Amino acid sequence: MTFLRIIRKPARPVVLGLLLVSCLTAGARVPQGGVEDTAGAVIRKLQAEYGPEDSARISRGVGQVASRWRPGDGDFEAFCTRHFIPSGRELDSALAVIERQMEVIRGHQREIDIALDLPVVTRSRPVTELDRLFSTTKPEVDYFQNGLALAIALNFPYYTLAEKERMGAFWSRREWAMVRAGDLFRTRPGEEKGPEPVTLPDELRDYTSLYILSMDHVLSPDMEVMFPEGTRLNCHNGLRDEIKGLYSRQDPLPRQRLISTILIHILNQTIPECMIGPTGYYWEPAANRVFLKKDGRYAETAFTTENDRRYQVLHHRMVSKMRED
C-alpha cells in the first residue's frame, strides 16, 4: 500500500463532528480479552489527559483495540496508556514511520513472491508440482503478536466502506492517509474468513505461467529476427521488463516498437495461438503473418488466434475479487 503524503492541515469542525458520531458505533464486536469494563475507564482517562481534540479518536481507537484484544496480549490499560499518540507532530511522525516501514516490509514480501514464482513463470527448468505449491505460498506475519497492529489500530482506527463513502468527501489528504493506515490491520488472523476464491478450471490454471513467447521467432517487417537466439519472455512481466531494459542497449526503438505491436495483438486476442509457448513457427506481428522456415526460406502458413482465453482468466479473477469485496 502506498500511503498519501502528510499535509498538515487542522481538522475541520464538521469532520470532527462526524468522527464523534461515528465512533459510537465503530468496532461494535464484543471485546474478546475480558476488557469490557476496562475499555470505558481507559477512554475516560485518555480523554481527560489529551482533551477534546483527540476525544473521538480515543473513543474509536480504544474501542477497536478492545474488540481485538486477547487475554495473552497483556495489560490492556497499560498498553493503551503507553502507545496512544496525541495529535500534532508526534502523530504526523508516526504516520510517516508506518508508511516507510510498511513499504520496506511489503517490498521484501513482493521480492519473495517473485522468487517463489520464478520457476513457474520463466520455465527455466521443468516445473514440478512442488514448484506450483511454492508459487501459491504466501508467507504471513502476525503483526498482532508483538502489539504493532494493536498500536496502529489504537492511533489510526479503521473505518468501514460505508463510513468512508459517507464522510470521505469532508476529509483532507492527511485525514485520508490516517484512515488508510487504519485499513492495514482490520482484523486479527483467523477472525474473519472470507469467501472461498473462485477456482480456475484446470485448462486455465497455468495460463499466465505458460504464456511464454519465443522472441527469437519474431520477425521485423523486413523479415529479420530481432532478438538473440534463446530469448524467451513471459507475456506479462517479461515483455514489460524487456522494453525497460532495451533503453540501455544500442538502437532500442525498433525492438520496443515490435514488442508494443505484440502487446496490442495480445490485448486484442489476435495473437497466433501457435506462438504461445514452445514453437517452430515464425511470426511477423506488423502484418500478423505466420511462417514456417524451410530450407532457409520462410513459407507463410495459416493460423488460428487465441480466441479470448485471456479474458476468461481475467473474468474468473474479477469474480473472485468481487466475492472478497
Domain's final residue, options 182, 212, 243: 182
pLDDT band at 210 (very low <50, low <70, confident <90, very high): confident
The model's pTM is 0.62
pLDDT band at 25 (very low <50, low <70, confident <90, very high): very low
Range 297-320 average pLDDT: 83
**Would you tell me the crossing angle of helices 89-122 and 148-155 to the nearest 10 degrees?**
130
Domain's final residue, options 182, 213, 248: 182
pLDDT band at 23 (very low <50, low <70, confident <90, very high): very low
pLDDT band at 319 (very low <50, low <70, confident <90, very high): confident
Do 170 and 21 share a structural domain? Answer: yes
Average pLDDT across the chain, whole number:
83
Do 116 and 23 share a structural domain? Answer: yes
| 217 in a structural domain | yes
Share of the chain above pLDDT 70, in %: 82
DSSP 1-66: -PPPPP---PPPHHHHHHHHHHHTTSS-SPPSSS-HHHHHHHHHHHHHHH-GGGHHHHHHHHHHHH
**CA angle at residue 51 from 16 to 10, to 5 degrees?**
40
Q: Which of 126-130, 146-150, 205-209, 276-280 has the highest mean pLDDT?
A: 146-150
| 170 in a structural domain | yes
pLDDT band at 102 (very low <50, low <70, confident <90, very high): very high
pLDDT above 80 (res 226): yes
Do 231 and 157 share a structural domain? Answer: no
Domain boundaries, position 250: 204-312
Do 66 and 35 share a structural domain? Answer: yes
Provide the CA 24 distance to its chain's centre, in angstroms: 31
Do 112 and 58 share a structural domain? Answer: yes
Do 243 and 111 share a structural domain? Answer: no
Question: Domains in the chain: how many in total?
Answer: 2
Contacts of 71 (CB under 8 A, 6+ apart): 33, 34
pLDDT band at 12 (very low <50, low <70, confident <90, very high): very low
Do 97 and 46 share a structural domain? Answer: yes
Share of the chain above pLDDT 90, in %: 58
> Would you tell me how many other CB atoms lie within 10 Å of the CB of residue 241?
12
pLDDT band at 200 (very low <50, low <70, confident <90, very high): low
Do 155 and 59 share a structural domain? Answer: yes
Domain's final residue, options 130, 152, 182: 182
253 versus 13: the higher-pLDDT residue is 253
Position 298 scores a pLDDT of 94
Do 161 and 210 share a structural domain? Answer: no
Selection from 262, 175, 254, 174 nearest residue 213 by Cα: 262
Do 224 and 80 share a structural domain? Answer: no
Do 243 and 155 share a structural domain? Answer: no
| 319 in a structural domain | no
Position 324 scores a pLDDT of 61
* Per-residue three-class SS string for 231-289: CEEECCHHHHHHHHHHCCCCCCHHHHHHHHHHHHHHHHCCCEHHHECCCCCEEECCCCE
Q: Which of 13-17, 195-199, 252-256, 313-317 has the highest mean pLDDT?
A: 252-256
Range 217-225 average pLDDT: 95
| 95 in a structural domain | yes
| 118 in a structural domain | yes
Q: Which pairing describes strands 282-284 and 232-234: parallel, antiparallel, or unpaired? A: unpaired
d(CA 83, CA 151): 6
d(CA 260, CA 285): 10
Range 74-82 average pLDDT: 94
Do 73 and 128 share a structural domain? Answer: yes
| 318 in a structural domain | no
| 102 in a structural domain | yes
- Alpha carbons within 13 angstroms on the beta-carbon side of residue 173 total 7
Are 125 and 119 a contacting pair, CB within 8 Å?
Answer: yes
Contacts of 113 (CB under 8 A, 6+ apart): 138
Contacts of 19 (CB under 8 A, 6+ apart): 56, 57, 60, 167
